[in-house]
Amino acid sequence: MIDIAPLRVSERARWGELWSQYQVFYGVGLPDAVTESTWQRIQSGRVHCLGARNAAGHLLGITHFLFHEDTWSTAPACYLQDLYVDPASRGTGCGRLLIEAVAEAARAAGANSPYWLTHHSNVVARQLYDRLAQDHGFIQYVYKA
């Protein structure tokens, strides 16, 4: 049994562990100030965070998402920015349940269906994503000033 619900303040330490593991997975090391700012934005509701918990209430995975204006629609867009499941809990349905919960939050907010990015080398996650969503073929570019 996996329960999906908003992150609790008491889960700060476990969230930090998962957030750190996510950064390691993508080969980045964000400054502590960015992590603290992210936590504060979650607490303020500017960034939404859902957690996947087992029957004992242990946090197994997290997702961050946010709503923003959309020039292609009158409804807000829902961007699923981060999704991470502890490697020991992969294959249990946590990722799918987190994505479905974000989709439900988008519906409840009157927003468009969630969209997200992943690295082309994220083969395991892409197997799930390919079952749940449609790849529209866009390529991400980042301008270096």
Q: What is the mean pLDDT of each run of 10 residues along the chain (145 residues)?
A: 96 98 96 98 98 97 98 98 96 96 98 96 94 93 92
Domain count, the chain: 1
pTM of the predicted protein model: 0.95
In a domain, 103, yes or no: yes
Tell which phi-psi region holds residue 27, choosing left (phi > 0), alpha (psi between -120 and 50) or beta.
Answer: left
**pLDDT value, residue 111:** 98
| CATH classification of the domain holding 78 | 3.40.630.30
Neighbour count for residue 130 (Cβ, 10 Å): 10
Write down the residue that tokens 């008491």 correspond to. 10
Query: Which two three-digit tokens encode residue 73?
Result: 């629609």
Domain around 44? 3-132
Q: In sequence order, what are the residues at sequence separation of 6 or more whose Cβ sits closer than 8 angstroms to the Cβ of residue 93? A: 2
